[in-house]
């Protein structure tokens, strides 16, 4: 892929459980993530919970058997802080068996395009071979395209979704999926987050 710029816009750790009773999550633990920020905004409902740390652009949510620790990139991405928050968030879950976790990275990709070429035209030309046949089946000119790729690997599954957002830019939503019954220690998770980012950036450029 011809990439001019690859900008990380969001990163999160998603933990999947066999069940996740939101009412049994210990909310007090979330006040201890950062001693200098002991008053996060907490919204709790029977089937959903959201905890926001606006100063750090961090949100923790629980819903549909998933605990999501979300870093919105208003600030520089710090893997150690996301790993630290993930450890405490996972420790707050009192019921439910962990079955998997994923590292998710959302990028804004500025493409190096030929003169007059758009991001849509680039994806069509690079990844679709018989666009005339597709246009005929659709009953009109093909003017949009998205791409979802899933790779099964020894280390875990890698998913990459590509979507045009404007004439020169696409989004790349990526997921590294791991089957596991526990979250790695914070130091290991921070290393995994940093290496995971490097890997998906490399894979995007190689597509």
For the chain, which residues make up each domain, given as ranges?
3-206
Distance CA 71, CA 64 (A): 20
Among residues 157, 150, 152, 155, the alpha carbon closest in space to that of 16 is found at 157
Report the predicted TM-score, pTM, of the whole model to 2 decimal places: 0.91
Position 188 scores a pLDDT of: 97
Position 128 scores a pLDDT of: 82
Could you report how far apart the first and last alpha carbons of the chain are, in Å?
A: 5
pLDDT tens digit sequence for 150-178: 999 877 899 999 999 999 999 999 999 99
Among residues 80, 102, 115, the alpha carbon closest in space to that of 2 is found at 115
Distance CA 79, CA 165 (A): 27
Please give the structure tokens belonging to residue 204.
Answer: 């995007």
> 100 has which bridge partners?
16, 179
CA dihedral (187, 50, 148, 145) in degrees, to 10, reads: -140
**What is the rounded average pLDDT of the residues 17-32?**
87
pLDDT tens digit sequence for 63-81: 999 999 999 875 678 899 9
CA dihedral (165, 169, 172, 173) in degrees, to 10, reads: -30
- Please tell me whether residue 149 adopts helix, strand or coil conformation: strand
């Amino acid at each position: 892929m011809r990439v001019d710029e690859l900008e990380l816009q969001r990163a999160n750790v998603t933990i999947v459980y066999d069940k996740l009773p939101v009412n049994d999550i210990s909310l007090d633990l979330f006040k201890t993530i950062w001693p200098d920020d002991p008053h996060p905004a907490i919204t709790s409902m029977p089937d959903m919970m959201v905890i926001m740390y606006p100063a750090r652009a961090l949100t923790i949510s629980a819903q549909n058997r998933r605990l999501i620790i979300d870093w919105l990139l208003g600030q520089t991405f710090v893997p150690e802080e996301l790993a630290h928050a993930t450890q405490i968030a996972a420790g707050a879950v009192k019921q439910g068996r962990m079955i998997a976790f994923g590292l998710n990275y959302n990028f804004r990709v500025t493409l190096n395009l030929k003169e007059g070429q758009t991001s849509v035209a680039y994806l069509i030309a690079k990844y679709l071979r018989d666009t005339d046949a597709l246009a005929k089946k659709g009953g009109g000119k093909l003017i949009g395209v998205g791409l979802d790729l899933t790779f099964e690997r020894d280390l875990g599954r890698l998913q990459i979704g590509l979507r045009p957002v404007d004439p020169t830019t696409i989004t790349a939503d990526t997921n590294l999926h791991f089957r596991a019954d526990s979250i790695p220690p914070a130091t290991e998770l921070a290393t995994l987050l940093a290496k995971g980012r490097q890997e998906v950036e490399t894979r995007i450029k190689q597509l």
